[in-house]
Chains A and B, each alone.
Chain A
Amino acid sequence: MKNQEKIEQNLKKLAKTHAYWYHKSMKTATLSTLDEQKRIRLRKILIIIALLILTVLMFFVCLFVGSSKMSVKDGFDALGWNSTNANNRIMWNIRFPRVLAAVVAGAGLAIAGLIMQTCLGNVMASPSTLGVSNAAVFGANLSIIGFAGGFLTMGKNMADAVNSFNPFAVSMVAFVFSIASTLLVLALCRLRNFSPNTIVLAGIAIGAIWTAGTTILQFFATDVGLSAAVIWSFGDLGRATYKQDYFMIGIVGAALITFICLSWRFNAMLGGDNVAKSVGVNVTALRVSALLIASLITSVCVSFLGIIGFVGIICPHVVKKLLGHNHVVSIPMTALTGSLLLLIADTISRSIAGGTALPVGAITSLLGAPFFLVMLFTAKERA
């Protein structure tokens, strides 16, 4: 009997000690987890601050770099209209609308890519997936080659082309074709209930038709028309005027606000259509409207500035890797990264060719692709 009591007492003691150590280890684990959570949050905040500072810095660097070799002091003076007339005009008539275009188009193309990737559940989706860019190129080629840059005047030589070339008309035709292409893809996909795979495949097929059309147009083009069409397709921020900038700011700004308001709906879509529907999201309406808005942004930017590739793929990927996929953060940060990428690309394009600006689209790809590959192959393999 005594032995039995002794055993029970020992057992109680053991249980108490065990409970103490268990409690202690749990407490330590909870503390270390809290520390880790704080560290993760701090890291994200630091990344966001660094991106903001870098973008503001690049905005000014981009303004002050150019073929006129304006000094930084002259640059600041010109910003306040206190420099020479020439410097003031260079700053406000040439550089500022160009830099503004870089900020807005970069942000727009980047968020268009992010939203397309979310809506189509495809990490490789980008504005070209729906054939938007291809349609814009076809529209611009038709306008330049078929109508010498206008709607009715036929151009047969360089003089005709220069006299009748109307950049706004080219942009408008490009815009109309890109929007028409998006509507065509979505109308076709209505037959298949807007399933993401159907949208991607239909977009690729329609895009191929526009590319074939462009090739045929270029085959029959005069040397002048062909040159003008090819030069149009190079992304060039120098084409931007204040009028175009304001138009892009309106569209991209409104889209950004709309997308931020829909952030949690996009987050729910990451769980798949059925889960998103089960938490109350109208998936089809969201997918169609978001794709239309993303296509509108792309159409506007491509129509005014030409093809600027890779921004819509690289920026969302970088932001997702650095800050995660939560759209509340990733939408504004992708926009910021897009602006930053285009500002860097534009600065480089105007600095390395000795007075001639290289096509900014080529620079974004040249810069973006290797960086993207490094990120892809150095990332830790996920469980």
Chain B
Amino acid sequence: MLEIKNLEFGYKKGQPVLKDINLSLEDGEIGVLLGKNGAGKSTLFKCLLGLLKPTGEILHDGKDLTKISRIDRAKLIAYVPQEISFGDLTVFDSVLTGRLSRFGMIAGAKDREVVNNVLEELDLSNIANKNVNQLSGGERQKVAIARALAQEPHMLVFDEPTGNLDIQNEKLIFDIAKRIAKEKNMTIIIAIHNLNFAFAFGDKFFLMKDGIIKYVGGAEILNEETIDDAFGVGVKIIEVDGNKGIIFGG
């Protein structure tokens, strides 16, 4: 279980970017972070990943992540960024870098076995020896997820993972995320801009505005008023066959 308590962070003294953040997610739950650009989503992710040093507590099963080593943190949380880069590595080698916190200097048989399993799981085995730069955007994003899974983490952080993808690949990536959360009972926290995908894949929603989490709850918190408040955009919520979605105007 992930719990964030009274988290605060500012790049400059006296100018907090994140204010009194409180958040909790159960194992296997997908938490969706929503908000305008500059609302503080990426900064919150950086705090979670240990890239920034906030005040407050980030607890995973009671263990404070702000007080553990980089290596131990890498074994608990993995990261899937929006901008994917791998250099001129093959798919296999790119995914193997995810095992770095486990093997340190020389990858062993166990690490290669884990990578092979992950590649098979994500249907990437047939391109294992291909250069990642020769893959499509969707495939590259799958490789980034495979790298994160190779860390064997308890929690996955997706920072707008589908920002550069077409709708088909966007759905594919969210389907994979949902499957991982359920099958591996893994906590996933994800930032999305597409509210329709948020409805379809999220279990719990955190609507951020100006560095605070203003609304927390299930899909019911995403309504015309809260969306207008957080994004400054008039929308209408529609429901088709029990599935919610939004259309502009209202």
Chain A contacts to B: CB under 8 angstroms: 29-30, 33, 36-37, 40-41, 118, 261, 264-265, 267-268, 270-272, 274-275, 277-282, 320, 324-326, 382-383
* Given A270-B88, A274-B79, A277-B51, 13 further pairs, Cβ under 8 A: A29-B126, A30-B126, A33-B127, A264-B97, A264-B100, A270-B86, A271-B87, A277-B70, A278-B78, A279-B147, A280-B100, A324-B90, A325-B87
B residues within 8 A CB of A36?
A: 129
CB distance from B168 to the nearest CB of A (A): 17
- Which secondary structure dominates chain B's binding surface? mixed
Q: Is B77 an interface residue (CB 8 A)?
A: yes
Expressed in whole angstroms, the Cα–Cα distance for A49 and B85 within the complex equals 30
8 Å CB interface, B63-122 against A: 70-71, 73-74, 77-79, 81, 83-90, 93-94, 96-98, 100-101, 103, 105, 107
State whether B81 touches A275 (Cβ < 8 A).
yes
Chain B contacts to A: CB under 8 angstroms: 46, 49-51, 70-71, 73-74, 77-79, 81, 83-90, 93-94, 96-98, 100-101, 103, 105, 107, 125-129, 131, 133-136, 147, 151
State whether A274 touches B81 (Cβ < 8 A).
yes
User: Which of B77, B129, B134 meets A382, CB within 8 Å?
Assistant: B134
User: Which of A274, A280, A282, A383 meets B134, CB within 8 Å?
Assistant: A383
State whether A264 touches B107 (Cβ < 8 A).
yes
Known: A41-B129, A278-B79. A270 touches B89 (CB 8 A): yes
- A269 to chain B: closest residue by CB: B87
Known: A267-B87, A383-B134. A280 touches B129 (CB 8 A): no
Expressed in whole angstroms, the Cα–Cα distance for A57 and B215 within the complex equals 71
Task: Write 22 A-B pairs (CB below 8 A) sorted by A numbering.
Answer: A33-B127, A264-B97, A264-B100, A270-B85, A270-B86, A271-B86, A274-B51, A275-B81, A277-B70, A278-B49, A278-B79, A279-B78, A279-B97, A279-B100, A279-B147, A280-B70, A281-B70, A324-B93, A325-B88, A325-B89, A382-B131, A383-B136
A residues within 8 A CB of B103?
A: 264
B residues within 8 A CB of A274?
A: 46, 49, 51, 79, 81
B residues within 8 A CB of A383?
A: 133-136
CB distance from B219 to the nearest CB of A (A): 29
Expressed in whole angstroms, the Cα–Cα distance for A264 and B125 within the complex equals 21
State whether A268 touches B49 (Cβ < 8 A).
no
State whether A324 touches B51 (Cβ < 8 A).
no
Known: A280-B70, A326-B89. A267 touches B134 (CB 8 A): no
- A267 to chain B: closest residue by CB: B97
State whether A267 touches B70 (Cβ < 8 A).
no
State whether B81 touches A272 (Cβ < 8 A).
yes
Expressed in whole angstroms, the Cα–Cα distance for A118 and B88 within the complex equals 11
A residues within 8 A CB of B128?
A: 37
User: Which of A33, A275, A382 meets B126, CB within 8 Å?
Assistant: A33
B residues within 8 A CB of A275?
A: 79, 81, 147
CB distance from A92 to the nearest CB of B (A): 39
Expressed in whole angstroms, the Cα–Cα distance for A138 and B105 within the complex equals 39
- A39 to chain B: closest residue by CB: B129
Expressed in whole angstroms, the Cα–Cα distance for A272 and B86 within the complex equals 8
CB distance from B37 to the nearest CB of A (A): 18
State whether A324 touches B89 (Cβ < 8 A).
yes
- A266 to chain B: closest residue by CB: B87
Known: A279-B97, A280-B73. A40 touches B129 (CB 8 A): yes
